[in-house]
A and B are shown apart, each in its own frame.
Chain A
Amino acid sequence: MKVLSRLLIPAALLAAVIAAFAFLQLEASALLSREGLGQMADYASGFLAPDLSPAHLRAIGHGALETLAMSAIGTLLAALLGLLLALPAAGRFGMLLQAASRLLLNALRAIPELVWAALMVLAAGLGPNAGTLALALHTAGVLGRLFAEALENTPPAPGEALRLSGSGRVAAFCYGTLPMLWPQLVAYTLYRWENNIRMASVLGFVGAGGLGQMLYMSLSLFQEAQASTVILAMLLMVLAVDSLSGWARQRWVRG
């Protein structure tokens, strides 16, 4: 057994890597030749002078706002849909509905955002609407599962006490279960929002609006200077979201 893990697994990994390179037949020689490198350098040099004209910056500002709006509305829709699906998925309405809603949540979650976006562009046309729907569908799968787990782990006693003293099911949920669940729901939703901001900026590659669509357009038109500004804007947005969420987490979660 020891020989197996010491020799066989590394050998198999090495073989897999070699097989991968052999299968792809990467034209490394063409890529690394003087000509290939020269072409790459030419292409890259177009990105070194970003277009900082006010009109373009204004367009980027609009694109960034669109991206933020897509992610925020998408996450909000996802949280609502997720909560709606989490209730049956946590087993509140019987076994049959539990199995069905879990299957649905798994399917929503398993398909990546970008594939949803491609599907939604077909279904709802080009533009940010498709991106918002795609984010909402995938995130609903993720949040629904997290919410269902949170719901299962919430102590049932307060809700039951309310039910026993004569309140309705909805009131018992709102005043017995929800207050204990609420902080977790908010934390999960904010965490997914952070992810979705990053995701929303690239969904545009399949035509779903936001900064991604601008980048795709300018690259298709060989406007490297404009594209380079969009990439800078994406980079800034990612870094800003990262540092903001890091700061918020230290301030409120570990504080």
Chain B
Amino acid sequence: MLNPTLAQRDPAAASRLLLTLLAVALLWPGLGLSELDLGVLFDGSNADTMGTFLAGFWPPEHGGEFLALLWQATLETLAIATAGMALALAVAIPCALLATRALSISALSRGGRPAWWAQALRWPVRGLLIVLRSIPEIVWALLFVRAVGLGPTAGVLAIAITYAGMLGKVYAEIFESVDPLPARALLGAGASRLQAFFYGVLPQATAEMLSYTVYRWECAIRASVVMGFVGAGGLGQQMDLSMRMFAGGEVASMLLTFLLLVLLADLLSRVLRWRFA
């Protein structure tokens, strides 16, 4: 291989070229379907409108009245995330208890594998959790906006439903991942399932559950801002309004507030996790 005449050409060039051609052939119809056109961005009138819009970004709007509105919207976003998480927990914990295999009595005599009928009884709950979390939260938000009207209620319900699905699944898995022997000993000695859960499973699972819950709360804040764009209240709804009015300064301050909020939530969640975990 040290012979320079041999290394003149890339030996793998042909196969790479073929792979690239294949990828291009597969993606070619995609170009048509996605109507990709970068030229639109620099097209005369569009570029002018965008230019004035972006030029309005500096300075960010900071009038007293606007700041009061911004403060209200920020509080609303935080409240939506917190209230949604509280409702989600109220749904997720019972569902997780119903769905987990860790508290199965029929599994006691079978080395940890529940009987088939016991598994079949758990499936409806698992299926419900799958459906709840597989539909994106913003779709739920859109549906609830049509059902209960514009405003934070739709956001709270959407977060509650989606996050109940996620938390329920993860909690059930956490219960199954801890050491099963304490719970089995309790169940075998005649304790009720709830007693076995509180004294056999929960002490081992608390740290992980808390850390995941706090992480999800952080996600809920981001989601509640995004859901505002379909009318579910909070910062997002204000941002949508300002964008439609091409008020660049207002959009800039709101984006800055959003970034600050996400940073603070990240910080707080790190502190809480460090405290509990």
B97 interfacial by beta-carbon distance below 8 Å: no
Note all chain B residues with C-beta closer than 8 A to A55. none
A17-B139 in contact (CB<8A):
no
Q: Contact string, A56-83, partner B, CB cutoff 8 A, digits 1/0?
A: 0000000001101110111011000000
B82-A73 in contact (CB<8A):
no
Count class of interface residues, chain A: 35 or more
Note all chain A residues with C-beta closer than 8 A to B86. 17, 20-21
A72-B139 in contact (CB<8A):
no
Complex: A132 Cα to B30 Cα, angstroms: 11
B136 interfacial by beta-carbon distance below 8 Å: yes
Of A21, A128, A205, which is within 8 A of B83 by CB?
A: A21
Complex: A218 Cα to B36 Cα, angstroms: 25
Near B by CB (< 8 A), chain A positions 13-46 give 16-17, 19-21, 23-24, 26-27, 31, 39-40, 43-44
| Interface of chain B: mostly helix, strand, loop or mixed | helix
Of A20, A27, A111, which is within 8 A of B153 by CB?
A: A27
Complex: A122 Cα to B46 Cα, angstroms: 8
A115-B226, A122-B50 in contact; A128/B138 too (CB < 8 A)?
no
A70-B34 in contact (CB<8A):
yes
Complex: A235 Cα to B139 Cα, angstroms: 11
Of A65, A122, A209, which is within 8 A of B53 by CB?
A: A122
Note all chain A residues with C-beta closer than 8 A to B78. 20
A124-B30 in contact (CB<8A):
no
B230-A128 in contact (CB<8A):
no
B75 interfacial by beta-carbon distance below 8 Å: yes
B153-A128 in contact (CB<8A):
no
A69-B29 in contact (CB<8A):
yes
Binds A, one of B101-109, B116-124, B142-150, B185-193: B142-150
A201 CB to nearest chain B CB (Å)? 7
Near A by CB (< 8 A), chain B positions 1-38 give 10, 27, 29-38
B173 interfacial by beta-carbon distance below 8 Å: no
Q: Contact string, B198-241, partner A, CB cutoff 8 A, digits 1/0?
A: 00000000000000000000000010011001100000000110
Complex: A23 Cα to B152 Cα, angstroms: 10
B72 CB to nearest chain A CB (Å)? 10
Complex: A234 Cα to B135 Cα, angstroms: 7
Complex: A133 Cα to B37 Cα, angstroms: 9
Note all chain A residues with C-beta closer than 8 A to B76. 23-24
B75-A31 in contact (CB<8A):
no
A119-B243, A129-B35, A238-B134 in contact; A72/B153 too (CB < 8 A)?
no
Near B by CB (< 8 A), chain A positions 97-138 give 110-112, 114-115, 118-119, 122-125, 127-129, 131-133
Count class of interface residues, chain B: 35 or more
B128 interfacial by beta-carbon distance below 8 Å: no
Complex: A157 Cα to B194 Cα, angstroms: 59
A20-B34 in contact (CB<8A):
no
Complex: A17 Cα to B41 Cα, angstroms: 45
Note all chain A residues with C-beta closer than 8 A to B156. 24, 26
A173 interfacial by beta-carbon distance below 8 Å: no
A43-B146, A231-B135 in contact; A129/B82 too (CB < 8 A)?
no
Complex: A170 Cα to B33 Cα, angstroms: 34
Q: Contact string, B41-85, partner A, CB cutoff 8 A, digits 1/0?
A: 100001001100100000000000000000000011011101100
List chain B positions with a Cβ less than 8 A from chain A.
10, 27, 29-38, 40-41, 46, 49-50, 53, 75-76, 78-80, 82-83, 86, 130-131, 134-136, 138-139, 142-143, 146-148, 152-153, 156, 222, 225-226, 229-230, 239-240, 243, 246, 255, 259, 262, 272, 275-276
A sample of 8 inter-chain contacts (CB < 8 A) reads A24-B76, A69-B33, A115-B229, A123-B40, A128-B35, A132-B35, A219-B146, A234-B139
List chain A positions with a Cβ less than 8 A from chain B.
5, 9, 16-17, 19-21, 23-24, 26-27, 31, 39-40, 43-44, 65-66, 68-70, 72-74, 76-77, 110-112, 114-115, 118-119, 122-125, 127-129, 131-133, 175, 198, 201-202, 205-206, 209, 215-216, 219, 231, 234-235, 238-239, 242
Closest 10 CB pairs of A and B: A69-B33, A69-B30, A20-B82, A20-B79, A69-B34, A20-B83, A23-B79, A124-B40, A129-B35, A132-B34
